[in-house]
Each structure stands twice: as C-alpha cells, then as structure tokens.
Structure 1
Amino acid sequence: MTLSGSFFKIGPARLFVHFAVLVIVIIWLIPTLGIFVSALRDKDQLVSSGWWTAFAGSSRTVAARLGQPDQQKQDGTVYVIAGNVLEGQQGRSIRAFGTRVQQPAAYKAGETADLGDGLSLTVNDDGSYRYTKTAAFGPDDGGRRVYISVATPPEFTLQNYKNVLTSEGIGQSFINSLTVTIPATIIPILIAAFAAYALSWMEFPGRALLIALVVGLIVVPLQMSLIPLLRLYNGIGSLLDAPSKTYPGIWFAHTAFGMPLAIYLLRAYIAGLPKEIIESARVDGASDFEIFTRIVLPLSFPALASFAIFQFLWVWNDLLVAMVFLGTDRDHLVLTGALNALLGSRGGNWEILTASAFVTIVVPLLVFFGLQRYLVRGLLAGSVKGG
C-alpha cells in the first residue's frame, strides 16, 4: 500500500483529531516563539514593532534638526543648507518625512516639500537633505525640526540576556530556583515510591484507610494548609534555635504538598504490575526491600518520570511557598520572585522582561521534552491497571 493510499484511508474522526492536535501545538508554540524572538531583538525595534516583523526590519518615527544659518551656501538664486539627518547611523534608510508632528510622514523620501515663504525641503532615503530658501536664511530659520520615518534592518543581540543574567540579579535567582526545585522533586519521589509499594503489595491494618486519606488530601487547597504548616515549621525552628528561612524548610514544605498526588500516581502504577513477578521474587526469598529496589523501582520509571514532570513544573513556577519559607532577600529570592519584582521596577523595558521570561521557561521546557514520552505511559498505565 502506498503512502498516499494509506493517508486517504484514515477516517475523518482521526483526521479531525490530528488537525486539532496540530492547532493546539501551534497555539501553544506561538507565544513561546514570540518571547524567544523578542528577547533577541534590539530595544528600539522591540518598542516600535511586533516580534512577527523581526525578520523584515522595522520603521519608527524620530525627530531631527536641520542645520544652522551659518552653514548656508548660495547656489544661484537660492540659499542652501545641506547635511544628513542620519549622521552616524549606518544601515538605516528614510521612507518618509514631515515638518509637523501631526503628519510625520507627509512626504515620501526624495520628494520636495514646499514649506511656503520661499522655503523648500528635500530629504533623500540615505538621510541627505537640501533645505533651500529664495532669500538668505535668518536666525529664525536655523535648526528647524523635522520628523523622519526611519527604516532599520533586522537587528538581533544577546545583550538582553547578558543584562538579565548579570546586572538584573536573575542569574542568582536562577541558581536559587534550581537549588529549591531539584531536591523538592527528588525527595517526594523517593518517599512516595516506598509508600506506594507498601500500600500496593504489603498487608497491614488500616491500609484502606490510609489510601482513602491520601486521596482526600489531594483535594485540600495549598492555601488552607500553608499557615498550619508554617506555624509547625516555625515552632520546630524555635525549639532547635535554627534559622527560620532555610532551603531544607522549603524542601520539606514542597514535599508535604506534593506527597498525596505522588503516592496516588505511583500506587496506581505499582499496583498494576504483574502479580506473578512479585510472588516469584518472594518465593525465591527476596525481601520487600529487595523486591522494591530490584524489580518494582526499575519497572516504575514511567510513573516516576510522570510525577517528576508535574512536581518540577509546579515547584519551578511556585511563588507563594517560596516567599513564605525563603523570604524575599536577594540571596534566597527564586526566579519567579525576581521576575515579579522586575515587572514592577522595569515594566517598560520589554527587552528585559522577554529575556527574563524565556530564561524562566527554558528549564521547564527542557524537562518536559526530555521526559514527555514517559508522561502518557505512566498516567495511562496507572489508570488502566490501578487496583
């Protein structure tokens, strides 16, 4: 069967699904592409035009002044002031010009504008101009303001990222976020994996009650448990005479908030593993710890990766828990907190904001695309086989 033949045998429902997925992917990628392109653009071009015009150049209107009367020269019956309004600006060209702010592009480049009273002005696309008068220029004729529409070629730079990662303090916040996120992802996975195995394959009193409790804790809002957890954390800190704002504190906070979902997902997957494998290992004399580390853990990697994606993205994008347990001082401020502060202090600097935003999302993107093939396998296998 040829490729074209197999294509036309695809049903309309499947074609619709493929088309819908393609549309969703495009919609999801457009903002990311916009942030990436904007973060590489020159500041002036970013302000004057949208990111979709980045490869076609941009146009912006600026004001310039013509020469002074002492620069005039007589040319036949007229007096001329000549010069260049693009002095020192390489690679730019003029599309239009005007003498009034209400009509900054009243005349095309190269066109002669009649300004009245014997005055005329010609501005060429290379920036050279010829300002003429039928009589000698007086003091009131010098330094006349003109408005020019300047076309600039595409300009891309890494200076925005350099500014963000050095002078804006985002670099330190990036390290702080990694310091928080990596342990806060690994710790709940390790604990939840042991708990999930126990709830799946070990018989003990109250197991069903614990499973129901775990499911119930999933729906508890974070905001409801934040204050009791913080009071408990501060109480333990006071008894031990320990600092109140530490990384271990936020690690355990994120572990507590992520544990119910982790146990639920991992138990659903581990409970669906073939029973014969577990029983054969026990017959051979393997302990529960050996069964868990040598059999269950390797087979559960898709589920572990699924939860790792959820937990990493949630912790990386967190702001509330980080501000409560770490504070807002510069040495402990996470990336989301630094970006939030940047929005308040540099809200008009789009080049800084877009570069900061892309720095923020690049790590979650790498994690997601690196583990996404395990995401659906882990979730679907657990939902189908869960017992």
Structure 2
Amino acid sequence: MDGLSGQKPIVVWLLNISVVLIVLLWLFPTLGLFVSSFRTGDQITASGWWSAMFPAEQTLQIRAADPDEFRVETSDGVFVVEGQIFGDEPFEGTIQAWSTSSRRLGENAPGDTYDMGDGESFTLNADGTYIWQGNDDQISGRAQRVFIDAETPPEFTLDNYNFVLFDEDNSEGMMKAFLNTLTVVIPATVIPILIAAFAAYALAWMDFPGRALLIAAVVGLLVVPLQLALIPLLSFHNSIGIGKGYLGVWLAHTGFGLPLAIYLLRNYMVGLPRDIIENAKVDGATDFQIFVKIILPLSFPALASFAIFQFLWTWNDLLVALVFLIDASGQTTVMTKQIVELLGTRGGDWEILATSAFVSIAVPLVVFFAMQRYLVRGLLAGSVK
C-alpha cells in the first residue's frame, strides 16, 4: 500500500532491505564454500575466496635437492648442487623475491647470489633453477630451505572432490557418510508424510468422537522440545531391540515430525472445496477413494512443503543421529558427524573441509530450489478463507 504522497511507507522499505540482507548473509558463505572447494590449500591460506579469479601472492617454503645424493664435486674441491627448485612439476607463477631465512623474507631478487658465509652461496633464478655451492661440510645433511615470494595465477582443481568422494584411501569416508545420510533421510521423510496424510484427512473430513481433542493434542505437541523425549525414547528402543540402528532413527524422526506434518496437511485439506468431496460421496466413492484420487493430488503443495522441511531437518540433524544411530564402529556415521570429526583430524586442511561442507549442503540446495515454489503455497494454506 502506498502512502498519502504516493510513495511506499518506510516499513515496506525496511522489510525489503531486511530481505536483501538475509539473502546476502545466506548467499555469501555458500558461494565461499563453493569457490573454496575448487581451490588448493595454499591458495585458501594466501587469499580469500573473493579474490580466487585474480593472481595471489604466496610465500612458498621449498627445500633444494638432497645434497648427499645430488651434489657434484668440481675440480677445485667445491661441492655444487644444481636443479629446479620446483622439482619436475612446472611452476606457472612468477618469482618476485626469495630468501634462505624466514627472518629475512624477500631480501633477494631472482638471479641474485646470496653469500651464506664461509664460501657457501645460493643462487635462485627467475625460472626456478638454482645453484647451491660450498665445501664438503656445508653441502651435506639436510637440504637448504628456500622461502620464495611468488605470484601464482588462479588455479582450480577437482582433486578435492576426488579425495572426498572417490579416493579409496580416504579414511574419513565422506562418501560412505553421504550414503548413510541418504539411507536415513529418505525413509524419515516418506514415512511421516504417509502417516500424516491419512491422519490429516481424518481430522479434516471425518466425524468421530474426540476429534477436537486430537487436534488440540497435535497443536500442543508442536511446542514440545524433542530433547525431553530423547532418553525415554532411547530406553524404549533398547528394550525392544531397535536401539542404535536405522529403524530406530527412522521412527524417531517420524515421531518428532508428525505433529507439524499433521497440522500443516490438516489446515490445507480443510481449505479444499467441500462440494468436490460431497459430490464424490454421492457418486458412491469411499473415503479411501476420495483420499487417494482427490485429496492427495490436490494436496501436493502442502505435501511438498512439509517434505522440504522434513528433508532439510533430517539431513542437517546431528542430535537425533548421535542418540539413535551412531555406534562405536562408525559404520552408520552420517555427514554431520563426519564433518565434526574432520574438524579434529583435518582442522588445517581448509580445502578438504570446504569441499566436505559444500557436499553436505549441495543436496538440500537442489531439493529446496526444485520444490520451493510449493513452499509458500503449502505454508499459507488454510490461513485465509
């Protein structure tokens, strides 16, 4: 609604600005994970994801070749080690400066010869070739370290995804955790929808004693925190032999998701035209036929809306999985638990963490964007007449 002057009121502008800020706060971290998942660890350390398309300045620490294996003695008794500082792999960057000490970074230009004392010297050229020379005691033992200030071009790689998803030597098992998560999420989304659809139809269109009390109980269960039921429910699962397994976690997610599902679907079904149902009953259709052939097709927006919520909740769940599924063997570890373990075992491997995190949100993003057009329609159903 426009104001008296024909301009939008300040509340509308504040609402639009708030929506834009929320979208940006959600978009930037997601985009950062996506870009970082294709970068190397050195690039992530050297520069932020927003500069991934531009050359980055890095300080590389590289050792020269093993002097005991590659040194050569000249005719005047001087020992020399020559080679390519970057090894066999080609270096596509540009050497800007170098040093043999971490305390004096960038003190030498490419091509300079640095006098290390007592006749020992080191020369590093712009193309990465070097000459290290000195006496027998100096050119022996550990290889000389070189700190190189270099400008490296943008580089993107699929090695992170190959390691996370397909590397057989990856002891972290992200691919197995991905499959375990799908094993949990798909039944935990389908089962409550099936049960809630039948219950919602009964509460919306069938007359029976106690219906109002059941609707009130469903509304009351919406505000009950699931933490209250974790320990009693786990004890019950253990007593009947389904604790710490897929069946137990499916039933737990079903129980925790049913109140919202029944409430949402019942509100939608109540808003459907009564004439359609009454005409079907006049034609001799049973309640089951009306439910399957009329109610379910018309209720697809509400079903899709709850499916989005249930899928996202179960996919991102950690608490219920820890209580009802995760065991000591780690064979049923889900992705949320796997990422927590990666923070401990690979806390410095930012490229692996970024790739694992993006893999964990990729499927929910696909599901959300594929079904988001039904989300608002399903949530607003039954709110107005």
SS in structure 1 at match of 2:382? helix
Provide the residue aligned with 2:274 in structure 1: 275
Identity %: 56
SS in structure 2 at match of 1:88? coil
Contact 1:71 1:81 in 2 (8 A): no
Provide the residue aligned with 1:94 in structure 2: 95
SS in structure 2 at match of 1:384? coil
Per-residue deviation, 1:44? 2.9
Q: Distance in 2 between matches of 1:354 and 1:146?
A: 30
| Structure 2 unaligned blocks of 5 or more | 1-5
Number of residue pairs aligned between Structure 1 and Structure 2: 364
Q: Distance in 2 between matches of 1:115 and 1:244?
A: 68
Q: Distance in 2 between matches of 1:312 and 1:333?
A: 18
Q: Distance in 1 between matches of 2:352 and 2:310?
A: 28
Query: Are residues 1:340 and 2:340 paired?
Result: yes
Q: Distance in 2 between matches of 1:231 and 1:67?
A: 62
Contact 1:63 1:147 in 2 (8 A): yes
Query: Are residues 1:362 and 2:366 paired?
Result: no
- TM-score (norm: length of structure 1): 0.82
CA distance 1:286–1:84, shift in 2 (3 Å): closer
Provide the residue aligned with 1:53 in structure 2: 51
Query: Are residues 1:62 and 2:61 paired?
Result: yes
Per-residue deviation, 1:120? 8.5
Q: Distance in 1 between matches of 2:9 and 2:126?
A: 55
Per-residue deviation, 1:146? 4.1
Contact 2:98 2:109 in 1 (8 A): yes
Query: Are residues 1:318 and 2:313 paired?
Result: no
SS in structure 2 at match of 1:383? coil
CA distance 1:272–1:100, shift in 2 (3 Å): same
Which AA in structure 1 matches 2:383?
Answer: S
Which AA in structure 2 matches 1:126?
Answer: D
Which AA in structure 2 matches 1:381?
Answer: A
Deviation sequence 1:248-272 (CA, Å, 0-9, x none): 2211111100000111111111111
CA distance 1:331–1:128, shift in 2 (3 Å): closer
Q: Distance in 2 between matches of 1:10 and 1:111?
A: 68
Which AA in structure 2 matches 1:229?
Answer: L
Contact 1:249 1:325 in 2 (8 A): yes
Query: Are residues 1:164 and 2:168 paired?
Result: no
Greater helix content: 1
- TM-score (norm: length of structure 2): 0.83
CA distance 1:348–1:119, shift in 2 (3 Å): closer
Deviation sequence 1:172-213 (CA, Å, 0-9, x none): 111111111111101101111111111111111111111111
Q: Could you tell which deviates more after superposition, 123-132 or 337-346? A: 123-132
Provide the residue aligned with 1:4 in structure 2: none
Provide the residue aligned with 2:222 in structure 1: 218
Q: Distance in 2 between matches of 1:149 and 1:12?
A: 55
Q: Could you tell which deviates more after superposition, 94-103 or 199-208? A: 94-103
Provide the residue aligned with 2:189 in structure 1: 185
Listed as ranges, the matches of 1:1-387 within 5 Å are: 11=8, 18=16, 20-58=18-56, 59-65=58-64, 84-90=84-90, 91-109=92-110, 123-128=124-129, 145-166=145-166, 167=170, 168-237=172-241, 244-328=243-327, 329-385=329-385
SS in structure 2 at match of 1:55? coil
Per-residue deviation, 1:214? 0.5
Contact 2:97 2:109 in 1 (8 A): yes
SS in structure 2 at match of 1:150? strand
Which AA in structure 2 matches 1:102?
Answer: R
